[in-house]
Amino acid sequence: MDGSACDILILGAGPAGISAALTAHARGRSVIVLGADPMGSPLAKAERIGNYPGLAGMSGRQLLSSMLGDLERAGIRRVTGRVTGVMAFGGSFMVSAEQNVYQARTLILAAGARQGEKPLPGEMPLLGKGVSWCATCDGMLYRGKRVAVLSLGGEGEKDAAFLRDIGCEVLYFDPTQAKKAEIKGADRVTAVVCGGAEHPVEGVFVLRDTVAASALLPALPMQDGHIAVDGEMRTGIPGVFAAGDCVGRPYQIARAVGQGNTAALTADGYLKERDK
Amino acid sequence: MSIRELTAENFDEAVADGTSLVDFWAAWCGPCKMQSPVVDAFAAAHGDVKVCKVNVDEQPALAMRFGIMSIPTLMVFRGGEAVKKTVGLSSLEEIEEMCR
């Protein structure tokens, strides 16, 4: 699978993911960091970080940009994209993001707290019956048809433009509108209700920056809306580790960085054990 | 057993007898690229099941006929009748269960 195979694939490019990447890299592991642009995260909006030692009043943006600089200096590959599928196969994991596929021996899930978001009314029952999470995957099946784009992240407009380009008639709803949307249909999608009006459509693209880990890995044990982990950041699936806001509160940078570090060390130990 | 690429012309004849697994896919779909090696592994281990693929981009009529609205979609046919359909990625175990 060319340059897309690695020891440790890290899903999420925030403090937990970056910390895990730096530690795994220092241990000699091949690493790819895959995730949404962290500059669209809530941390990027923080004006000042007061409780992380040594930052001297940096903003969230400054901290992220400094952390991303660390990745770059270490020569760690980072890919911006939305993960659309994860599957265990033949002793490793395959992960798809947009049109690409990556293969890794272990995964570290570090995609933040937004994954706890509840699905929209109608979203889960109609998934695959007109509801799609991936415009590049399913867009072509809706050429010449009327579809709604419910953008719940920062990238929805790009996907809406893509769908228009390939010949879909697109109704676009920004995050403020999309949050309150409802998807209607029995066997297949018939309409989306948004802003008090019902719009007949044949397809609905629900686009978040991050697809929930529990949706990508249905076997992943959860606890109170977060990924369940032990003290060494192991999840309930062997070879899958998790760190940061996705494993629970408090949502703090210091905690995320520490957990990312632990997750990488545990993943490294797991790989060593397997290679014995 | 080799995997056969189906078209609107040969589809019915291909699935007419026995058990067939059909993988609806397209080149622009990342998850389909993940499904593909799993389907290949299934085919290698199960000579009794006819394993076929339909490229929905080249076969829009088949995609419409079977209501394919998201890919990958896997369908199982027995004696020409569609008996199972799953949307999204399926593991090797899940495919084996579908074809049982």
**Annotated catalytic residue B32:** yes
Task: Note whether A89 contacts B68, CB cutoff 8 Å.
Answer: no
B25 close to B56: Cβ distance less than 8 angstroms: yes
CATH 3.50.50.60 in chain A is located at 2-116+211-275, 131-207
E strands, chain A, in order? 5-11, 31-35, 77-80, 83-89, 92-97, 100-109, 131-132, 146-151, 169-173, 182-185, 189-194, 197-200, 203-207, 222-223, 226-227, 240-242
Question: Mean pLDDT, chain A, as a whole number?
Answer: 93
Q: Is the pLDDT of residue A1 over 50?
A: no
Give the torsion sign (CA, B32, B38, B41, B47). negative
Predicted pLDDT of residue A58: 94
* Residue in A1, A86, A89, A142 to test binding to B, most B beta-carbons within 10 Å: A89
ipTM: 0.84
Q: How far is B69 from chain A (nearest CA, A)?
A: 6
Whole-angstrom Cα distance, residue A165 to residue A168? 7
The single residue of B3, B26, B29, B82 carrying the catalytic annotation is B29
Predicted pLDDT of residue A30: 97
Amino acid at A201: V
Q: Is the pLDDT of residue A260 over 90?
A: yes
The CATH number for B26's domain is 3.40.30.10
The predicted-structure confidence for A9-39, as pLDDT tens digits, reads as follows 999 999 999 999 999 999 999 999 999 999 9
Report whether CATH 2.120.10.30 matches the domain A2-116+211-275.
no
What separation in angstroms does the CA of A190 have from each of A148, A175, A198, A263, B8?
A: 11, 21, 10, 44, 27
Predicted pLDDT of residue A154: 77
Task: Note whether A137 contacts B91, CB cutoff 8 Å.
Answer: no
Whole-angstrom Cα distance, residue A55 to residue A98? 35
Structure confidence at residue A210 as a pLDDT band (50, 70, 90):
confident
Structure confidence at residue A86 as a pLDDT band (50, 70, 90):
very high
B48 close to B99: Cβ distance less than 8 angstroms: no
Which is higher by pLDDT, B29 or A106? A106
What is the fold, at CATH topology level, of the domain defined by A131-207?
A: FAD/NAD(P)-binding domain (3.50.50)
Q: Is the pLDDT of residue A179 over 90?
A: yes
Whole-angstrom Cα distance, residue A112 to residue B6? 42
Least confident piece of the model among A211-215, A241-245, A250-254, B16-20: A211-215
Predicted pLDDT of residue A90: 84
Q: In chain A, which residue's Cα lies nearest the Cα of B28? A: A99
Domain hosting B59: range is 4-99
Task: Please state the rounded mean pLDDT for residues A219-234.
Answer: 94
Other Cβ atoms less than 10 A from the Cβ of A210: the count is 22
Whole-angstrom Cα distance, residue A255 to residue A243? 9
| Burial label, A165 (beta-carbon count in 10 A; 0-12, 13-18, 19+) | exposed
Tell me the count of A-B CB pairs closer than 8 A. 80
Predicted pLDDT of residue A212: 83
Q: Taking CB atoms and an 8 Å cutoff, what residues of chain B touch A98?
A: 30
Task: Please state the rounded mean pLDDT for residues A85-103.
Answer: 90
pTM: 0.88
Predicted pLDDT of residue A115: 57
Kindly give the parts of chain B with pLDDT less than 70. 1
Predicted pLDDT of residue B75: 97
* Residue in B25, B69, B74, B90 to test binding to A, most A beta-carbons within 10 Å: B69
Predicted pLDDT of residue A195: 82
The predicted-structure confidence for A44-69, as pLDDT tens digits, reads as follows 999 999 999 999 889 999 999 999 99
How many domains is chain B built from?
Answer: 1
The predicted-structure confidence for A151-172, as pLDDT tens digits, reads as follows 998 778 999 999 999 999 999 9
Task: Note whether A84 contacts B68, CB cutoff 8 Å.
Answer: no
**Annotated catalytic residue B29:** yes
Predicted pLDDT of residue A213: 85
Percent with pLDDT over 70 in chain A: 98
Predicted pLDDT of residue A243: 98
